[in-house]
């Protein structure tokens, strides 16, 4: 095998994998089939991609687009190797995202790829950073699918104020996060309890709160930890675990990045 895939994160209807291919000019390209709808960010190297939607030479920053059941072929006639961050979606999951994008008409992709567009540069960079900390990849998957659907719809999406009903639902989500921030709170579960599609929930949450649900959960946990550090004598490790952090090193790193000091220094200040 010239390609290896390492699953970074997954959930109901979606999966993200780091795919490394070592094929070169001496390796014969062979036909494969997309098992799910796919948006793959090219992270390194280059290759020729051919599918029923067209063909292109893909380089870092480009997006490979594939439809479930569609045959495709990747070739490395001119240089060896590439690396991609592949987002794979079940049809029903992607349809839920497309339904919330103004102007989008279908869940499948009419094109084989998107070039390195300025409009996607920030999101592509966020996705590569998130690959090193997979807890954010669910949000990235939703945003990436929505952005691609919006671009392919070839229509300008109008920004509309969230409805009173959506404001009420997001308020409930904020209260729920505040009361249960130490628990594992997936975006999918928060959206389901708010009776919203994950993409609509994420978009509405960002519009109203200004940050994503994941960022808000992290902020709430760090704020609670900061109060406990100043108000109690509990060991730092106990505070980290009680506030929902899975390990002490992650807590220390994130606390220092946000608060500007390590937990111990913050407590002594």
pLDDT at 1: 54
Read off the pLDDT of residues 14-32 as tens digits, 9 standing for 90 and up: 999 999 998 888 888 888 9
- 76-119 pLDDT per residue, tens: 887 788 999 999 999 999 999 988 887 777 778 988 999 888 88
pLDDT of res. 116: 87
> In CATH, what number does 216-268 get?
1.10.10.60
Q: With contact defined as beta carbons under 8 Å apart, do 145 and 87 qualify?
A: yes
What percentage of the chain reaches a pLDDT higher than 70? Answer: 97
- Residue 156: per-residue pLDDT: 40
- CATH number for the domain formed by residue range(s) 164-214: 1.10.10.60
CATH number of 3-153: 2.60.120.10
Question: For the chain, what are the domain ranges?
Answer: 3-153, 164-214, 216-268
Supply the pLDDT for residue 154.
64
Q: What is the pLDDT along the chain (269 residues), one digit of tens a residue?
A: 588 999 999 999 999 999 999 888 888 888 899 999 999 999 988 888 999 888 888 888 889 999 999 999 998 887 788 999 999 999 999 999 988 887 777 778 988 999 888 888 889 988 998 888 788 899 999 999 999 998 888 644 444 678 889 888 998 899 899 889 999 999 999 999 999 999 999 999 988 887 889 988 998 999 889 989 988 999 999 999 999 998 899 999 999 988 888 999 989 87
Domains 3-153 and 216-268 share a fold: no
pLDDT score for 169: 92
């Amino acid at each position: 095998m010239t390609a290896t895939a390492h699953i970074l994160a997954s959930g109901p209807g979606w999966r993200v994998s780091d795919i490394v291919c070592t094929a070169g000019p001496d390796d014969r390209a062979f036909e494969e089939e997309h098992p799910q709808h796919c948006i793959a960010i090219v992270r390194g190297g280059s290759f020729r991609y051919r599918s029923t939607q067209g063909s292109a030479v893909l380089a870092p920053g480009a997006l490979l687009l594939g439809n479930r059941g569609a045959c495709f072929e990747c070739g490395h006639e001119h240089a060896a190797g590439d690396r991609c961050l592949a987002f794979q979606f079940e049809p029903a999951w992607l349809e839920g995202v497309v339904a919330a994008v103004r102007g989008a008409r279908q869940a499948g992709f009419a094109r084989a790829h998107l070039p390195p567009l300025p409009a996607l540069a920030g999101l592509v960079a966020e996705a590569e950073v998130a690959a090193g900390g997979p807890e954010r990849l669910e949000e990235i998957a939703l945003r990436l699918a929505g952005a691609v659907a919006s671009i392919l719809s070839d229509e300008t999406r109008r920004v509309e104020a969230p409805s009173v009903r959506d404001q009420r639902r997001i308020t409930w989500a904020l209260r729920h996060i505040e009361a249960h921030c130490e628990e594992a709170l997936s975006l999918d579960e928060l959206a389901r309890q708010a009776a919203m599609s994950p993409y609509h929930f994420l978009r509405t949450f960002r519009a109203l709160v200004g940050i994503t649900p994941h960022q808000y959960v992290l902020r709430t946990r760090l704020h609670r930890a900061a109060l406990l550090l100043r108000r109690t004598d509990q060991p730092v490790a106990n505070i980290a675990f009680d506030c929902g952090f899975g390990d002490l090193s992650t807590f220390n790193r994130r606390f220092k990045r946000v608060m500007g000091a390590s937990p111990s220094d913050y407590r002594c200040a």
